[in-house]
Amino acid sequence: MTFGVEEQLVKKLVEREFPLVFVDAGPDLPNIRVLKVDYGEGIRQAVQHLAALGHRNIAFISGPLSQRSPTARRDAFLKSMGELGLIVPPEHLVEGNHAMEGGIGAMERLIALKELPTAVMCSNDMTAIGALHALYGTKYKVPEDISVVGFDDIHLAQFVLPPLTTVQMSCKALAAAAVEALRAGIEQDHQKAAKTEWHIPTRLVVRRSSAFPRGTLPALVEHAAGTRR
């Protein structure tokens, strides 16, 4: 997966002709197949969604940057922001640990800034749930004061309050590709035996944790309408 494997162990497995399947990136060795998750498309959709709502001040909470997957997600976020001409200040890039506790700590660091970002994207849903938890005990409401977006679309994401806007990466598609890639390495007559990369798509799922930035006219109109109801 994405936690890193000792190079010598991989070489020994390759020498013994064990087929190996990696997520995101793998060594340039024989009988290695890689599942390439399309972080770029899903994160681009999320950034464009926030920008279309009017957000320009968007922060990012990453996972541990010693690992490939969190780094790829952060880089995809920065690239998507750059495509829109949006600058990300260094203090708006906070490293977490892909756990809820890391999301709480990272969000507390953003809350402590002189000005709170209007939106924060998180490297995974558990981080985003931690961010929601940290905000719950403050004066800031989601999404009225700050929008929160996750990544992965875990089952819990649709049941937190508010339901989480997130980037969906299908675990079913990932598992199916992993099995097919492994079979391609085992079965010499497999129709995809020569294939070395499998593409895993991502897409944005919009729920209720993202909205217009605080203080903007659309946000004020929406708030007034909600008050009248």
Strands, E assignment, the chain: 20-23, 32-37, 58-62, 93-95, 119-122, 147-152, 165-169, 197-200, 202-205
Using the predicted structure, report yes or no on whether residue 133 has a pLDDT greater than 60: yes
The string of pLDDT tens digits covering residues 10-34 is: 888 888 989 999 888 777 888 889 9
Tokens 């339901």, located at residue: 163
Q: Which CATH class is domain 1-229?
A: alpha beta
* Mean pLDDT for the chain overall: 91
Residue-wise pLDDT tens digits, 104-118: 999 999 999 999 999
Separation CA 155–CA 142 (nearest Å): 20
DSSP state of 49: H
What pTM was computed for the model? 0.87
Q: Which two tokens stand for residue 191?
A: 């129709």
Span 206-216, pLDDT tens digits: 999 999 998 87
Beta carbons within 8 Å of 197's beta carbon, 6+ residues apart: 33, 34, 35, 36
Mean pLDDT of 39-67: 96
> What mean pLDDT do residues 192-213 have?
94
